[in-house]
Chains A and B, each alone.
Chain A
């Protein structure tokens, strides 16, 4: 899966280029994210503006990345989420463990805090 990365004051910003995060690409999404995250990153913002579909395979990746980030006390936020994707986060109870923000700037503020 293609991702686009940049950094802003220690926060890694990953824009997901794929429109779907499902069982067919979850493994490569996970591998690419793990490769992108560096030891000195203090936060991760996932930009979901292109993502219109996520299944439990994708949620599994989010949870496992979240666990890694929490261990190293890094912040995490997801921005620009479409309603249908947001609904999956809500149903799964992920809205309680993930910072969900409308804009990338808001997400960066969460990670800078």
Chain B
């Protein structure tokens, strides 16, 4: 039998920092299906919090890839609890993912992705972690009190580096 704890913590004000912090929190004996629910919750959270579509895409991808990694390589079967906390700040969105699977550091323990092989030889292992690492601005991993604790931050507004997009008025 699967026991399921489902928890949503709504808006809470952080006193002293004059900012509003909103978070979605869930802790469950996690199954793949639950990911769909969480993604839907993040989507509705994002529209209330006025995220850009790029930000939503990134957070969505990070949560899916990291949680699947925990389910497929961390817990295998049976599953265990995964806690996901999405915290929105003025400049960044922070995603905390906490699980009790054996230690796995996505920064160092994931296989290197195969980005250059021909179609015939190419393997897809490690791609999820690699995608995540490409999309985040900061990634911190700790293993403490028998928990994997991953914290990733994504900037709310991505600096557009391509000069073409910032075309200045032509005075000629």
Interface residues of A (CB under 8 A from B): 22-24, 52-53, 55-57, 59-60, 63, 66-67, 70, 84, 88, 91-93, 96-97
Contact = CB atoms under 8 A, between A and B. Distances in A.
A63 B53 contact: no
B143 to A, nearest CB: 24
Given A55-B61, A92-B130, 18 more contacts: A22-B64, A24-B35, A52-B53, A53-B60, A55-B65, A56-B124, A56-B127, A56-B131, A57-B64, A63-B119, A63-B122, A67-B120, A84-B54, A84-B57, A88-B131, A92-B115, A93-B116, A97-B122
A56 B128 contact: yes
B57 A63 contact: no
Contact of A70 (B35, B116, B119, B134): B119
A60 B61 contact: no
Given A24-B36, A56-B65, A67 B119 contact: yes
For chain B, what secondary structure do more than half of its interface residues adopt (helix, strand, loop), or is it mixed? helix
Interface in B89-128: 113-116, 118-120, 122, 124, 127-128
A67 B120 CA distance: 6
Contacts of A84: 53-54, 57
Which one of B53, B122, B130, B134 has the greatest number of beta carbons of chain A within 10 Å?
A: B122
Given A56-B131, A67-B119, A70-B119, A88 B61 contact: yes
A53 B120 CA distance: 26
